[in-house]
Amino acid sequence: MQLPTTKTPATRKSPAMLVLYGPPKVGKTTAISQLEGCLNIDIEDGSDFLEMLKIKIDSYTKLMELAGEIRKQPVKLYKYVAIDTVTRLEEWAEMKATQNYRSSILGKNFTGASILELPNGAGYMWLRTAFLEMIMLVKSLAPNTIFVAHLRDKMLAGAEAKSGTMVSAKDLDLTGKCKQILCSQADAIGYLYRQSVVPNSPDTKLHISFASNELVNCGSRCDHLKGANMLLDWSKIYVD
C-alpha cells in the first residue's frame, strides 16, 4: 500500500445522493417529473396526475424485483432514480425488520405486530439495519439518487422563549436514527417551499433551500449548494 503524499483532486461536484422534503402538495413529485432522465419509483401512489418516467411499487418485495431488473441491464438505464417517498420506505423497513427478527433465534417466539414493541427500544437496531439496507439498495440503481421525504413540524423554544413563544422547526418525517442514517448518507438535503417572486403576488414559485439553521434541517457537501437558497432549477443542482 502506497501512502498518499499529495492532495487528491475532487471527483464530483454534484450530489450523488440528494434528499428533498417539504410541506404536503408543495410540488415535490412535480419537481421530480421535470428532471430529465429520472425514474420516479412511486411507492405512495402519488404520481397519477403527472406525465413522467415512473413505476409504481407497493411492497419491498417488488422493489427488490425492480432492482434486479435494473441491475441486470448491460448499461445503466437511468441517470437518476428517485424514491417517492422515503417516509414510506421506513414503514417497509419496519415490516422487514420484524420479519428478520422473527426469523432469528432471538425472535423465534416473538408474537408482536412490530419489532418496535420490543422492550427498552431493542427493536430500533433491527429497524436501522433494515432501513440502511434499503437505502443502499436504491443507491445502487443509478449514479444519482433522490430521496423524497415528508415534512414533520416540531415545536421548539425560539429566540423569544423567555416570553413563552414557541417556533415551528422543519424536519424530515422519519424516526430519529433513520433520519440520521439518511442524512449522513446524503450529499445534500434541500427544503422545498413556495414563495412569491413578486412581493404580495399570489403567483408562487417552487424554491429550494440548502441553508441550514435552527429552524430548518438542510445543508450540502457540494460547494455550489452550500448556503444556497434559490428557485428550483435542476441545472443549478446537477452541474457535472
What pLDDT, in 10s, does the model give residues 207-217? 999 998 777 88
Report the pLDDT value the prediction gives residue 164, as an integer from 0 to 100: 54
Report the pLDDT value the prediction gives residue 94, as an integer from 0 to 100: 96
User: Where is 153: in which H helix or E strand?
Assistant: strand 144-157
The one-character DSSP state at 10 is P
Report the pLDDT value the prediction gives residue 163, as an integer from 0 to 100: 47
What pLDDT, in 10s, does the model give residues 46-66? 999 999 999 999 999 999 999
Separation between Cα atoms, residue 207 and residue 145, nearest integer Å: 20
Separation between Cα atoms, residue 53 and residue 17, nearest integer Å: 19
Report the pLDDT value the prediction gives residue 162, as an integer from 0 to 100: 47
Task: Enumerate the H helices of the chain as residue ranges.
Answer: 28-33, 60-71, 86-102, 123-139, 176-185, 234-237
pLDDT in tens, the chain (240 residues): 989 999 999 889 999 999 999 999 999 999 999 999 999 999 999 999 999 999 999 999 999 999 999 999 988 899 999 999 999 999 999 999 999 999 999 999 999 999 999 999 999 999 999 999 999 999 999 999 999 999 987 655 554 444 455 555 788 999 888 999 999 999 999 999 999 877 777 889 999 999 987 778 889 999 999 999 999 999 999 998
Q: What is the dihedral of CA 135, 140, 145, 147, to 10 degrees?
A: -20
Separation between Cα atoms, residue 231 and residue 209, nearest integer Å: 9
Separation between Cα atoms, residue 126 and residue 97, nearest integer Å: 5
Please report where in the chains the cell 419491498 appears, as a residue: 60
Which of 176, 159, 175 is closest to 167 using CA atoms?
A: 159
Q: What does residue 158 show for φ and ψ, rounded to 5 degrees?
A: -95, -165
Report the pLDDT value the prediction gives residue 142, as an integer from 0 to 100: 96
